Structure 1
Amino acid sequence: MTTEDVLRREDADGVRTLTLNRPKAYNSLTVELKESLLRELRQAASDDEVRALVLTGAGKAFCAGQDLKEHIGKLRAGDDSPLRTVSQHYNPIIKTIVDMPKPVIAAVNGPAAGAGAALAYAADVRIAASSANFMMAFAKVGLGPDSGASWTLQRLIGYGRALELMLLARTVESEEALRIGLVGEVVADENLAARAHELAAGLAAGPTAAYSSIKSTMATAARSTLDEALAEEDAGQARLGATADHAEAVAAFVDKRPPNFRGR
């Protein structure tokens, strides 16, 4: 299977869709898939033609997390590289998603477990199919959290509930995920791809320079004092006030017409 086979890329309406494509293995993460995903995420981050990103899975699962067959096989063969996959693969993947200077939507089309669920948690917007579910499966294999889940999950649903899901490693079905704030929307399975693209295309047509600033300002505020957050907001508004998009938005408001944003 080639790299292009394990991760599909599609572009339309300013939206890049990356599809994890190992459906028979529930899109579990091999070294090949992790390296391909990291490379594609970095490329999307630097490509001005990509104004929004959708991450989803092929088949019945979003992502089952680490491919344990490959993991165990390498360790039994005396290859200790799986012990470095967190630093070499998972950490940079999550950092690239979180720091992406454009909106990222996770379209969770089925079960998401372990590092696979963490991919969704790192996104800016999560939309789930009715058949989707989430599991922090790390404890089931005698491990602690990785892939940023210790940081992202508690920011989505609160410390106490996140700790409970980590310890109990229980499955959270889509409706509970919606109720506790783990996802923002649940749709019928057959409508997920279209709805995710609709959301992403709407964002892609928007003021993407502002979206980048919103993401960085919110991230700063999450780990700073009020004074630091106010300073970051001040600096962000000063930058954005000089953009063509802001000028266009003001002109469109005065002219009573829709704005035409260009992301600069």
Structure 2
Amino acid sequence: MAEAANGGSAEKISLAEIGLRFEVDGEIATITLDRPDRRNAQTFATWSALAHIGDNLPQQVRIVVVRGEGPSFSAGIDLRMFTPEGVLGQGSFAAAAALDDPAFEELIAQAQRGFLWLRRPGIISVAAVHGHAIGAGFQLALACDLRVLADDAQLCMKEPALGLVPDLTGTKPLVDLVGLPRAIEICLTARQVGAQEAARIGLAELVVAPEELAGAVRDLTAALLATGRDAATATKRLLQGAAGRTLEEQSAAERREQIVRIRTLFAGS
């Protein structure tokens, strides 16, 4: 179950009602956005449900795949949220706007929790993107460590064109991946970035034909699982911290991690 925000109140809604599926097969978990009739548009309830999944992720899971059912990965924010009535049981921007600042900021922070956990060192998250990944959909793909795109994928940071800012943790990874000037251009033109361009500028690790997307993700997850969990976690932790450290600081971090690994592997030998 997950909580759906509605102007500060919450009610219990099932994942199926929200339009999500969550399945675990051994060390691999798959989150499927499952509102194909609305091109997997997202609401406050979607983000609360994603946070709930992260909070309750089974310990054995090492890989999390995020995908979309139907013709699109995710068309972004459900436009009904811009109407006064919003989405029944799932909130609206009008209701949120009536909150005081601390409550409103907490509401956004709770939405961001649904995206932040995908970057944990202990897991590798993979976005399998086809069709449109617009706004919140693009940010969900950016929240993942790796992105595999079908060649029909179209990425777009739509929020500025709607009078909003991207606030679902997507701005930092976008700048990290493509640089500040390109990130400004992508966001402030709200143009669509096709799959081939996405690969060229660093937004995708792999581009395949739509019918090959599932197989490419399976092959990638199998390769990722070939590395032991503890070494993978320590290495991801090192890589995540590298941008914020000097070379000397990163070298020291490497030493600390390696001491733990070698002692773990060879203590008592």
Task: Specify the TM-score bucket, using the shorter chain as the normaliser.
Answer: 0.7 to 0.9
Which of 71, 74, 87 is residue 63 of structure 1 equivalent to? 74
Letter paired with 1:23: P
State the 1:10 CA deviation. Answer: 2.3
Letter in 2 for 1:142: G
Distance across 1 between alignment mates of 2:96 and 2:14: 25
* Structure 2: gaps (5+ residues): 1-12, 87-91
Paired position in structure 1 for 2:16: 4
Q: How big is the shift at 1:128? A: 0.3
Counterpart of 2:228, as a letter, is P
Partner of 2:167: 146
**1:134 positional shift:** 0.3
SS at match of 1:140: helix
CA displacement, residues 131-188 of structure 1 (integer Å, 9 cap, x when unaligned): 1110011111011221122210011111111111011110001111111111011111
Structure 1 residues 195 and 163: CA distance shift in structure 2, 3 A: same
Q: Map 1:25-64 to 2 at 5 A.
A: 25-44=38-57, 47-64=58-75
**Greater RCO (Cα-Cα under 8 Å, separation 6 or more):** 1
**Counterpart Cα distance in 2 of 1:213 and 1:131:** 35
Q: Alpha carbons of 1:27 and 1:125: their partners in 2 closer, same or farther (altered >3 Å)?
A: same
Question: What amino acid is aligned across from residue 31 of structure 1 in structure 2?
Answer: F
1:89 equivalent to 2:101? Answer: no
| Partner secondary structure for residue 56 of structure 2 | helix
- The yes-or-no answer on 1:227 pairing with 2:239 is no
Task: Give the one of 191, 196, 205 matched to 2:217.
Answer: 196
Higher helix share: 1
- Kindly state the Cα deviation for residue 205 of structure 1 after the two structures are TM-superposed: 3.5
Instruction: Check the 8 A contact 2:134/2:155 in 1, yes or no.
Output: yes
Deviates more, 1:221-230 or 1:18-27: 221-230
> Which amino acid in structure 1 is aligned with residue 78 of structure 2?
D
Structure 1 residue ranges without an equivalent (≥5): 248-264
State the distance in 2 between where 1:42 and 1:149 align: 20
Instruction: Count how many residue pairs are aligned between Structure 1 and Structure 2.
Output: 242
- Give the deviation of 1:80 after TM superposition: 3.6
Distance in 2, matches of 1:209 and 1:149, equals: 27
Q: 1:186 to 1:222 in 2, by over 3 A?
A: same
Once residues 83 and 4 of structure 1 are traced to their aligned partners in structure 2, the CA distance between those partners, rounded to angstroms, is 27
The Cα shift of 1:99 comes to 2.1
TM-aligned CA distance change 1:98 to 1:127, over 3 Å: same
Q: Distance in 1 between matches of 2:50 and 2:215?
A: 22
> Does residue 131 of structure 1 match 2:152?
yes
Q: Relative to structure 1, is the Cα distance of residues 79 and 201 closer, same or farther in structure 2, using a 3 angstrom cutoff?
A: same
